[in-house]
């Protein structure tokens, strides 16, 4: 029997309403519509619109295949065979080819201009049968009464007021955190506190040969840089650091970014002939999570639920994985809310497990011990291969398959003890006494 309507009987009934037309929302909409579910996708802006997060992971490839968009993504992207880590302190660089990941299915990913990429996914959802409304911002949600429908109010760009009565809501509103903010569920992650400033450049030095197309992560003194090659000779360059560095500045964000580029010898060398062709954008409070990802008749997916420091390019993959999971939860909920609750719990556990695996590395990326380990080519106990698997997006491996991850963590703790007595891991894999004996944390 069809569930009762919301007290506002003027609201338009819909089975699943999705707030946000980015990768999470568009993925969920495409999956649901492809299975015959009535779905409405609201997007507050109009595609194409700028977004950061241009580097994808190999595990995205299977999702693209399931959505039927792999060829389209390849056509707009730059092939990404590996992730490269470059150290200002060590003066060296190490690549992590995805082909070496344990059980690698796809040894490559793509770097994409997000405006084109997001529009591609949004258009695919519409082509699969989702109803899409752009420049339509959700402004309120009244939870569903027992066994009934929620009430979502929205406003269009021309100030038309709309009301919808969905049986299930997927919040894919991104960093707006539509539901988490309104329900008081959003919590900043103090252990991952960071902020970012970024822009697009033309004329920056691209990698060639085996590292052509790689994302480069430059480990600098005060934080880290991304350098992402994009089509048409563009390079996305961003700097990420603790928010305190941004708060202490006495100049513009553009000047701060320029100063940090100048202060990094490895980034400066690649930016000698570069010209900035976009505005400089900054964002703070990078890492956060909601206390729970779901409730009665709704689920938060993608950045609306949680966001991690972007050093390992996990954002789009987490969003699309959550989009597929959210679609499965919505579909199950429509048939039987009890089954939907079970799937929602499982999905949240799986996402949190993946975030925890990356979070362990993210919390330590500015520590000298972890940076030393990244710059070392040591593959004892297959630690390097296991690390590459994480970098490729294999976040939620079963416990039995996580031996290399545990070995890496054990080595980290042992090297941390060595660091306290003045020993340092060098890129050749040898421990040597550092100049000056004892090393302070962060040196």
- SS3 assignment for 323-348: HHHHHHHHHHHHHCHHHHHHHHHHHH
Check whether residue 298 and residue 414 sit in a common domain.
no
pLDDT at 390: 87
Residue 231 in tokens: 């089509």
Q: What string of DSSP letters covers 246-278?
A: HHT--S-HHHHHHHHHHH-HHHHHHSTT-EE-S
Residue 308 lies in a domain: yes
pLDDT at 381 over 90: no
pLDDT in tens, 338-379: 999 999 999 999 999 999 989 999 889 989 999 999 888 678
Do residues 22 and 116 both lie within one domain?
yes
What percent of the chain shows pLDDT beyond 90? 71
Q: Are residues 351 and 213 in the same domain?
A: no
Q: Look at residue 168 and tell me whether its pLDDT is greater than 90.
A: yes
Q: 8 pLDDT exceeds 80?
A: no
The pTM assigned to this predicted structure is 0.92
| Structural domain contains residue 6 | no
pLDDT above 60: residue 6:
no
Q: Are 223 and 365 in contact (CB under 8 A)?
A: no
Of 233, 267, 283, which one is at a domain's C-terminal end?
Answer: 283
Looking up tokens 């890129």 gives 427
Q: Which residue has the higher pLDDT, 72 or 430?
A: 72
Whether residues 19 and 136 fall in one domain: yes
Residue 377: other Cβ atoms inside 10 A: 9
Residue 442 has pLDDT above 50, yes or no: no
Q: What's the rounded mean pLDDT across residues 180-194? A: 86
Ramachandran region, residue 311 (left: φ > 0; alpha: ψ -120 to 50; beta: rest): alpha
313 and 370 in a common domain: no
What confidence category does residue 50 fall into, taking pLDDT thresholds of 50, 70 and 90?
confident
- Which residue's structure tokens are 């609306």? 304
Answer for the pair 331, 35: CB distance below 8 angstroms, yes or no: yes
| One domain for residues 182 and 210 | no
- Does any domain span residue 102? no
User: Are residues 208 and 173 part of one domain?
Assistant: no
Tokens at 419, concatenated = 């660091």
Work out the average pLDDT over 147-162: 95
Mean pLDDT estimate for the chain: 91
* Model confidence at 228: pLDDT above 60: yes
The 10s digit of each residue's pLDDT in 298-345 is: 999 999 999 988 889 999 999 999 999 999 999 999 999 999 999 999
- Region 163-175: mean pLDDT is 97
* Residue 332: inside a domain: yes
pLDDT of the residue at 440: 36
CATH number at 141 reads: 3.50.50.60
Q: Where are the beta strands (DSSP E) in 47-89?
A: 78-80, 82-87
The 3-state DSSP class for residue 360 equals helix
Banded model confidence at residue 399, pLDDT cuts 50, 70, 90 = low
Mean pLDDT throughout 133-151? 92
In a domain? residue 297:
yes
Query: Is pLDDT of 439 > 50?
Result: no
CA distance 353 to 278: 36
Q: Is the pLDDT of residue 38 over 60?
A: yes
pLDDT at 286 (0 to 100): 67
The predicted model gives 407-420 an average pLDDT of: 92
* Closest listed residue to residue 268, CA positions, set 282, 278, 254, 257: 257
> Omega into 431 within 30° of 0, i.e. cis?
no
Domain boundary among 229, 260, 283: 283
Two tokens, residue 68? 């039927």
Q: Indicate whether 329 and 260 sit together in one domain.
A: no
Same domain, 213 and 278: yes
What per-residue string of b and e applies to 299-325 under the rule 16 or more CB within 10 Å gives b? Answer: bbbbbbbbbbbbbbbbbbbbbbbbbbb
Cβ distance 367 to 83 under 8 Å?
no
pLDDT for 437 equals 42
Q: Which helix (H) or strand (E) holds 64?
A: helix 60-67
Residues 406, 352 share a domain: no
Residue 104 lies in a domain: no
Mean pLDDT confidence for 112-116: 97
Residues in a beta bridge with 152? 141, 164
Question: Mean pLDDT, to the nearest integer, of 76-96?
Answer: 94
Query: Is the pLDDT higher at 389 or at 5?
Result: 389
Share of the chain above pLDDT 70, in %: 94
pLDDT bucket at 144, cuts 50 / 70 / 90? confident
Q: Per the domain annotation, does 105 fall within a domain? A: no
pLDDT at 285: 62
CATH number of the structural domain spanning residue 229: 3.30.9.100
- 261/404 same-domain check: no
Could you list the residue range(s) of the whole structural domain that residue 221 is in?
194-283
Residues forming beta bridges with residue 95, ordered by sequence position: 84
Q: Spell out the residues 6+ positions from residue 23 whose beta carbon is closer than 8 angstroms to its own.
A: 117, 118, 121, 302, 316, 319, 320, 323
Higher pLDDT, 248 or 216: 216
- Please, are residues 305 and 323 in contact by the beta-carbon 8 Å criterion? no
Q: Is residue 120 one of the residues assigned to a domain?
A: yes
pLDDT at 71 over 70: yes
- Pull the structure tokens for residue 26: 């568009």
What's the domain count of the chain? 3
Write out the two tokens for 164. 């919808």
> Predicted confidence band at 400 (pLDDT cuts at 50, 70, 90)?
low
Question: What local confidence, expressed as pLDDT, does residue 432 receive?
Answer: 84
153 and 36, same structural domain? yes
Q: What is the mean pLDDT of residues 424-435?
A: 78
Average pLDDT (226-239) is 97
Last residue of a domain, one of 308, 330, 358: 358
Of 211-225, 261-275, 278-292, which gets the smallest average pLDDT? 278-292
pLDDT at residue 3, as a whole number: 57
């Amino acid at each position: 029997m069809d569930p009762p309507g919301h007290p506002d009987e003027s609201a338009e009934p819909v089975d699943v309403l999705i707030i946000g037309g980015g990768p999470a929302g568009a993925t969920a909409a495409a999956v649901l519509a492809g299975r015959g579910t009535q779905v409405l996708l609201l997007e507050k802006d109009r595609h194409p619109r700028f977004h950061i997060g241009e580097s994808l992971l190999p595990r995205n490839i299977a999702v693209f295949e399931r959505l039927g968009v792999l060829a389209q993504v390849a056509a707009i992207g730059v092939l990404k065979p590996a992730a490269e880590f470059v150290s200002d302190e060590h003066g060296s660089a190490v690549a992590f080819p995805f082909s070496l990941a344990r059980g690698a299915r796809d040894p490559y990913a793509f770097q994409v201009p997000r405006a084109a990429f997001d529009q591609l996914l949004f258009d695919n959802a519409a082509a699969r049968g989702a109803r899409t409304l752009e420049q339509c911002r959700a402004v309120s949600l009244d939870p569903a009464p027992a066994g009934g429908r929620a009430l979502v109010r929205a406003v269009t760009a021309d100030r038309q007021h709309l009301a919808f009565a969905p049986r299930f809501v997927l919040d894919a509103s991104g960093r707006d955190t539509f539901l988490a903010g309104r329900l008081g569920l959003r919590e900043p992650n103090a252990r991952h506190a960071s902020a970012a400033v970024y822009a697009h450049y033309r004329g920056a030095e691209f990698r060639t040969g085996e590292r052509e197309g790689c994302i480069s992560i430059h480990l600098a003194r005060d934080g880290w840089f991304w350098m992402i090659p994009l089509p048409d000779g563009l390079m996305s360059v961003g700097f990420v650091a603790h928010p305190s560095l941004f708060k202490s500045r006495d100049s513009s964000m553009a000047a701060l970014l320029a100063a940090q580029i100048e202060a990094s010898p490895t980034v400066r060398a690649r930016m000698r002939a570069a010209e900035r062709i976009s505005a400089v954008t900054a964002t703070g409070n990078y890492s956060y999570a909601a206390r729970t990802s779901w409730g009665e008749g709704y689920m938060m997916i993608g950045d609306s639920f949680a966001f991690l420091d972007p050093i390992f390019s996990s954002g789009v993959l987490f969003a699309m994985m959550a989009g597929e999971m959210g679609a499965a939860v919505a579909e199950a909920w429509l048939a039987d809310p009890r089954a939907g609750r079970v799937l929602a719990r499982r999905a949240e556990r799986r996402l949190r497990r993946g975030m925890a695996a990356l979070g362990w590395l993210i919390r330590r990326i500015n520590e000298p011990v972890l940076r030393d380990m990244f710059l070392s080519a040591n593959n004892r106990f297959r630690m390097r291969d296991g690390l590459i698997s994480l970098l490729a997006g294999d976040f939620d491996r079963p416990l039995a398959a996580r031996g290399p991850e545990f070995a890496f963590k054990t080595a980290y703790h042992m090297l941390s003890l060595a660091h306290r007595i003045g020993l340092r891991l060098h890129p050749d894999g040898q421990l040597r006494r550092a100049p000056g004996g004892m090393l302070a944390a962060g040196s």
